[in-house]
């Protein structure tokens, strides 16, 4: 019998922190080491707590409570600094966490009619100023926790809306599919947090898919670090490339899937690495459909998340998104074809679809970002119509050339 693994879900990949251990600056090395040690201890604490899990907390209609850890890593000693009905406080980190958690809660309610993380009004607890120089943020199964960064490489993790929404989404995944946090199911877990995190950012900014930067953690690095973000959904593997951090290792295609040990040192089988593949599939789907990512693409991914199970793999999830797209928007719809083409582009052919999506590849990749077809006409059929019209125009032109008198 397979046991579902519940791990601490962190935004900063362990391979970045390990790379920082090679830095020539003692402060950077020490902050990275302390973060790795604290995270490992927290994982152990969560595993113990999960084995003694009691009854679920009483519904609280998604009310927010923000606590200040005062640089301690012992959460029970944190001080309550802001509750749902309180005005802003002097602590900017507390206010940012309060606002972003609220925006994420509202996003799920307004877009997906979901009531908080567990869909039962779970209280939303955020903890700021966790530990000292802590270069991470995480969901531990009960609350959202944010470090201040070391001030040299990383800055305050509450400064990134999508980071907060990313951790929130880990809770949503835990209370829906419960995706096991290792190998492909774990990479899918991480990808879904990026997907919903970037949707929250775009929703708050009211950005269309074509207008967005599709970056995760664009604000977590200090200004002196040459890096775009932790990850790029548009172009996995391009978020950073420098001596301090190394090169972004994310693949964008199954042919480059990275096999790593299923250990903490191996990123649980590469959960933060291989998430680049489904990340790009969502980006391509959103660009192929056009408009806002949280509309059709978001609903397809959300319904597919709810239909998944702890051991769902990339192939199964791709098949589910294709099925859900057909159920939501019609078999053969532009939305379904965009999903088909997106997965094909990252090397995953949807099961049971003759010929895969080769006929759709060029239209989706050349998409204008505002949708290729708006009347429901299948893209291949539209292409055939254009080609037929072009042939008729050429034939007419040739006929006119015969009828036109020569000078």
CA–CA separation, 85 and 192 (whole Å): 31
* Neighbour count for residue 54 (Cβ, 10 Å): 6
DSSP 128: E
Kindly give, in sequence order, each residue whose CB lies less than 8 Å from that of residue 302, ignoring residues fewer than 6 positions away.
112
Q: What's the distance, CA 2 to chain centroid?
A: 26
Cα–Cα dist 333/338, whole Å:
9
Q: Of these residues, 170, 190, 272, 335, which one is catalytic? A: 272
Q: Which of 236, 162, 116 is nearest to 11 (CA)?
A: 162
What is the 8-class DSSP label of residue 22? T
Q: Where are the alpha helices (DSSP H) in 271-365?
A: 276-289, 296-306, 314-329, 334-345, 361-365
Would you say how long the chain is, in residues? 407
Assess whether 272 carries a catalytic annotation: yes
Integer Cα distance of 165 and 199 in angstroms = 9
- In whole angstroms, give the CA distance from residue 405 to residue 75: 91
Catalytic-labelled residue, pool 162, 167, 174, 316: 167
Coil vs helix vs strand at 167? helix
The CA-based angle 339-342-343, given to 5 degrees, is 90
Angle at 11 between CA 138 and CA 38, to 5 degrees: 55
In the chain the first and final C-alpha atoms are separated, in Å, by 87
Give the number of other Cβ atoms within 10 Å of residue 311's Cβ: 16
Contact (CB, 8 A) for 227 and 249: no
Rounded CA-CA distance 104/107 in Å is 5
Q: Which residues are catalytic?
A: 167, 272
């Amino acid at each position: 019998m397979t046991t579902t693994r519940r791990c601490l879900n962190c935004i900063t990949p362990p391979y970045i922190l390990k790379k920082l251990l090679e830095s020539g600056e003692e402060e950077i090395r020490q902050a990275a080491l302390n973060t790795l040690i604290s995270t490992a201890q927290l994982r152990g604490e969560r595993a113990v707590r999960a084995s003694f899990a009691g009854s679920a907390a009483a519904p609280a209609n998604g009310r927010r409570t923000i606590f200040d850890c005062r640089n301690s890593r012992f959460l029970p000693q944190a001080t309550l600094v802001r509750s749902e009905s309180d005005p802003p406080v002097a602590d900017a980190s507390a206010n940012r966490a309060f606002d972003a958690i609220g925006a994420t809660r509202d996003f799920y309610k307004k877009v997906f009619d979901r009531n908080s993380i567990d869909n039962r009004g779970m209280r939303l607890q955020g903890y700021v100023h966790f530990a000292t120089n802590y270069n991470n943020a995480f969901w531990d199964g009960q609350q959202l926790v944010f470090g201040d960064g070391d001030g040299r490489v990383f800055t305050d993790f509450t400064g990134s809306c999508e980071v907060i929404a990313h951790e929130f989404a880990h809770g949503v995944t835990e209370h829906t599919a419960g995706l096991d946090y290792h190998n492909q199911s774990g990479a899918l877990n991480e990808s879904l947090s990026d997907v919903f995190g970037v949707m929250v950012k775009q929703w708050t900014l009211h950005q269309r898919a074509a207008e967005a930067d599709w970056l995760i953690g664009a604000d977590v690095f200090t200004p002196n670090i040459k890096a775009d973000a932790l990850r790029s959904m548009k172009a996995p593997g391009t978020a950073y490339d420098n001596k301090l951090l190394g090169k972004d290792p994310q693949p964008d295609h199954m042919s480059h899937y990275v096999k790593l040990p299923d250990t903490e040192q191996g990123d649980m089988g590469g959960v933060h690495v291989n998430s680049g593949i489904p990340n790009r599939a969502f980006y391509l789907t959103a660009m192929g459909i056009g408009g806002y990512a949280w509309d059709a693409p978001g609903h397809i991914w959300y319904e597919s998340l709810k239909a998944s199970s702890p051991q769902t793999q990339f192939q199964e999830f791709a098949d589910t998104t294709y099925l859900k797209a057909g159920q939501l928007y019609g078999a053969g719809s532009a939305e379904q074809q965009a999903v088909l083409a997106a997965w094909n582009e990252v090397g995953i052919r949807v099961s049971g679809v003759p010929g895969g999506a080769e006929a759709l590849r060029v239209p989706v990749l050349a998409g204008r970002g505002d949708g290729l077809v708006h009347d429901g006409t299948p893209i291949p059929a539209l292409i055939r119509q254009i080609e037929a019209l072009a042939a008729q125009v050429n034939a007419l032109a040739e006929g006119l050339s015969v009828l036109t008198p020569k000078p």
